Amino acid sequence: MRELLITTVAGLALAMSSCSAGEPANDDPKPTDTTTANKVAVWVTNGQRSKLLTSENPLTISKAGSGGSPGNVINIDFSTRLQEMEGFGAALTGSSAYLIQQKMNASQRAALLKDLFDPQAGIGMSYLRVTMGASDFSLEDFTYNDLPAGQTDPDLKQFSIAKDQAELLPVLKSIVALQPAIRIMATPWSAPAWMKTSGKLAGGSLKPEWYGAYAQYFIKYLNAYQKEGIAIDAISVQNEPLHEAAYPSMGMDSAAQGNFIKNHLGPLFKTNAVKAKILLYDHNWDRPGYPMSILKDPQASQYVAGSAFHAYGGSVSAMSTVHDQFPDKGLYFTEISGGRWVTNFSDNLKWNMSNIFIGTANNWSKNALLWNIALDPSDGPKNKGCDNCRGVVTIGADGSVTKNVEYYTIAHMSKFIRPGAFRVQSDRLNASTQLEHAAFLNADGSRVLVVLNQGADNKKITVATGEGQFTYTLDPNAVATLVWK
């Protein structure tokens, strides 16, 4: 899906430029204690890589209006709460799970998972996406109800998640043990081949006569995972429904998705008291009309929690377009991949922070997820999909871990902005400042400001919170997360 879309979006490949080699895994310092009055913890990553999630000396909060030249003033109103944040993370694909479970020894695996998911000792990723069956990053094609050609199974008697038992479920269980409240989203790339017009997993669409059986497929999946101790918080109906490919994929236009939700999936979830959210679309920013056309139908919309987006086309502002029309529905950002199309750490750092993390938050997203958590040095294993995508981390043949730029972009959000936080109102700075930011209030009362400096010079900022203020000078081409109580 990615290789076709990336090449068709002018300028996006450069914007998503990525570094082919990150920094080796290391023990990051613990956060500065912000329980001490008037102290602000500072964490920085810069484009030169001289600072990689580096904890700097804490700042002091002074009385509002004190000090000399304020520089660029960021006014934050913590009393005006906007969307509630659900988490930050990436996708535990079949390929990622295979590498973690099979290519790492027990101590390597435990260290990696602690680094990724422990909010104190690591970066505390708090949201995962998993694939329902195979994707373009699996070891083989499969669904949970595969049959010989010509056979059907209307009652899904042969449904089985056995293919997930070797790698995906063991890794998921280890992650849940580290972070029991982690949110997990599940997405199918294809219905079973016997339900489709193509008769195969690659391409084709869902036959209307199998809408009811496919809705039951979701129920069986959720129940099977629940029996394994894995609670699925949300499902999207179809990954990239407007893109059919040589790997598991399925076309589903907005009319078909609306019909499936309104007349089959939604009522079945209601009858079975399913708590998992139903998300629409799960495709690029360039077609916001797709989810909006379904949300306009009250019979379908009643079952829908929100809409999910990818970033291989269009602009992040599309999420606000949907929010403005349907402010009671959630927005979710669920996929973008790093890759080897351009090897520049600094450009990647800035693009990802501007668009995917600060950008989606400021356009009402409740989460932000990247694609593969882990791939090998050859950008695999892959299943007929993107041949130059990169994982958040790279796992070597010896089980060693390299942290890529995506690791640091996630970390600047996930470690500090915890589930249940709210984005809060903050004044945007003029574009000429080359500064972008988003502000948050955690449930424990801690306050977080994430600031990006797109410029080539140091930028002085003054953060005004009503009762106090503090000043900080941010490196060029850098992101800082500031935390205080």
- Got the DSSP string for 194-246? GGBSSSSSBS-BB-GGGHHHHHHHHHHHHHHHHHTT----EEES-SSTT---S
- Residue 449: CA atoms inside 13 Å, Cβ hemisphere, count? 32
What percent of the chain has a predicted confidence (pLDDT) above 90? 89
pLDDT at res. 16 = 38
pLDDT at res. 243 = 98
User: Which superfamily does CATH assign the domain made up of 2-17+86-419 to?
Assistant: Glycosidases (3.20.20.80)
pLDDT at res. 24 = 39
CB atoms within 10 A of CB 462: 18
- Upstream peptide bond of 154 is cis (omega within 30 degrees of 0): no
Query: Each residue of 81-98: pLDDT tens digit?
Result: 999 999 999 999 999 999
pLDDT at res. 309 = 99
Answer for the pair 427, 462: CB distance below 8 angstroms, yes or no.
no
Phi then psi dihedrals of residue 191, to 5 deg: -75, 165
Residues of the chain with pLDDT under 70: 1-37, 66-69
pLDDT at res. 69 = 67
Query: Each residue of 366-415: pLDDT tens digit?
Result: 999 999 999 999 999 999 999 999 999 999 999 999 999 999 999 999 99
Element (H, E) at 280: strand 277-284
Alpha carbon distance 68, 298 (integer Å): 56
The candidate with the shortest Cα–Cα distance to 369, out of 93, 34, 109, 32, is: 93
Query: Each residue of 102-119: pLDDT tens digit?
Result: 999 999 999 999 999 999
Alpha carbon distance 485, 418 (integer Å): 14
Element (H, E) at 115: helix 106-117
pLDDT at res. 389 = 97
Alpha carbon distance 209, 214 (integer Å): 10
Q: Which architecture does CATH list for 31-82+424-484?
A: Sandwich (2.60)
Pairing of strands 478-484, 447-453: antiparallel
pLDDT at res. 67 = 63
pLDDT at res. 68 = 61
pLDDT at res. 15 = 37
Answer for the pair 420, 85: CB distance below 8 angstroms, yes or no.
yes
pLDDT at res. 101 = 98
Alpha carbon distance 404, 13 (integer Å): 17
Q: What is the pTM of this model?
A: 0.93
Element (H, E) at 345: helix 345-351
> Domain ranges in the chain?
2-17+86-419, 31-82+424-484
